[in-house]
Amino acid sequence: MKTICFYFQIHQPFRLKRYRFFDIGSDHYYYDDFANEDIIHGVAERTYFPANNLLLEMIKEYNGKFKVAFSISGVVLEQMEVYVPEAIEQFKELSKTGCVEFLAETYDHSLASLTDPEEFQRQVKAHSDKIKDLFGKKPTVFRNTELIYSDDIASQVAAMGFKTMLTEGAKHVLGWKSPNYLYSAASAPNLKLLTRNMKFSDDISYRFSNYNWSEYPLVADKLVNWIAATPESEQLINIFMNYDVLGSLQQAETGIFDFFRAIPRFALAKGITFSTPTEVTKTFKSVGELSVPYPCSWAGEEKDISPWVGNILQKEAVEKLYSIAEKVQMVTEKRILQDWTYLQASDHFNYMSTKLFPGPSVYSPYENGYDAFNNYMNVLSDFINRVNGQFPEGVELEELNALTTLIRNQEKEIKILKKQLKSSDSVSKKDKVVQEKNKITSKKKKVTE
């Protein structure tokens, strides 16, 4: 029996304001609050609110037979909490149905998996904790930023305890293989892989409203018929998309909501079910291993990481950012740690692309990649100065590490001693109570005698 696994990515970065060279050292606030609030409100009105209501209706209409999965970055969750808390409440309602699974990812929607294993692990833990706090369940399935995946990343993800991971069904990865099976990672055989079906996913994401597409218009029964026509042995259809497809990338006027609403009716009529990633892993067995020595993603035609580190500008920005990672990990100032989170969002480096956006782009707030690079590097220069200002001048990083380790060990010892002191105090108090009781008892005996 065939099953469809729907997955949606939800992310919005904290966009930077115009930050000029002369602002370095005098202005430590980097964000365009007006743009961030305006954008999150717009996306919520076009996508989050109507799409969440639609999914809730569909789950109820089909008695829990319709299921989907989400990964929501930590930075967009923060924006929702501030600007559109109603969206958070809607996602909580969806979570209560038991038909929606929330996946783990990097809290910052960052490139840490490519640069810094410790930072990568820290962000994944922070995100998992956030999801558990909001929706009551710790994620067991992992989806990396923009589906970035490699053998090395798979090993890191498996070491964190995840059993399942999502990735792109890129042709240079699969070769002759089909994305419509469950696979396992070559570097971590216990880690199961769900590979995105590019054709069906992109038909909805990019070609749905394209009048020049030979298959236009795309209607629900046509999509379901295509899925039903896949070889009988191909039982798993992974359709992974940005949530913005519903209402933003494909506007409501195109009929995208009506199209999506009709999919379960035609699918269930043909015996095609819907599953979450966890259910897929429990239902299907791996048909083989996938080896991915070089990182792939779901972006661009090449399906590689060039949209973020494809030119000199991007590489320099990423290298300079993560060159201070060790120092930031020793900082305790909340404002610096918050900026560290927001500055790692992969979007900042994507805006620097000269391949994807040689000129103005609807996705980027900048005129071109060079403009994005200059603005980001000005911000980063000020941020680095603030981080360095947390430490004495002339002290080497190794000395700082040693001192920090010593301080942390002392803090741990102090906590242990405090616990021991509390326990000893409680024991001594109990002893005093017992002694007083014994005195009273002996006095009573004397009186009776």
pLDDT in tens, 65-103: 999 999 999 999 999 999 999 999 999 999 999 999 999
- pLDDT of amino acid 360: 47
Torsion of CA 336, 340, 342, 347, to 10 degrees: 150
What mean pLDDT do residues 3-30 have?
Answer: 97
Terminal Cα distance for the chain, rounded? 88
Q: What is the pTM of this model?
A: 0.87
- pLDDT of amino acid 441: 64
403 pLDDT above the threshold of 70: no
> What confidence tens digit (pLDDT) does each residue in 193-205 have?
999 999 999 999 9
What mean pLDDT do residues 377-401 have?
Answer: 84
Q: What is the CA radius of gyration of the chain?
A: 27
- pLDDT of amino acid 449: 52
Q: Would you say 11 and 109 are in contact if contact means Cβ atoms under 8 Å apart?
A: yes
Let me know how many helices (H) and strands (E) the chain has, helices first. 19, 12
> What confidence tens digit (pLDDT) does each residue in 284-337 have?
999 999 999 999 999 988 999 999 999 999 999 999 999 999 999 999 999 999
Closest CA to 304 of 149, 85, 90: 149
- pLDDT of amino acid 416: 82
Residues 265, 64: Cα–Cα separation, whole Å: 13
381 pLDDT above the threshold of 50: yes
Can you say whether the dihedral through the CA atoms of 419, 424, 430, 432 is positive or negative?
negative
Q: Which residues contact 263 (CB under 8 A, 6 or more apart)?
A: 4, 220, 223, 224
- pLDDT of amino acid 395: 63
User: DSSP per residue over 408-441, as a string?
Assistant: HHHHHHHHHHHHHHHHHHHHHHHHHHHHHHHHHH
> What confidence tens digit (pLDDT) does each residue in 177-228 have?
999 999 999 999 999 999 999 999 999 999 999 999 999 999 999 999 999 9
- pLDDT of amino acid 396: 64
Q: Which residues are catalytic?
A: 146
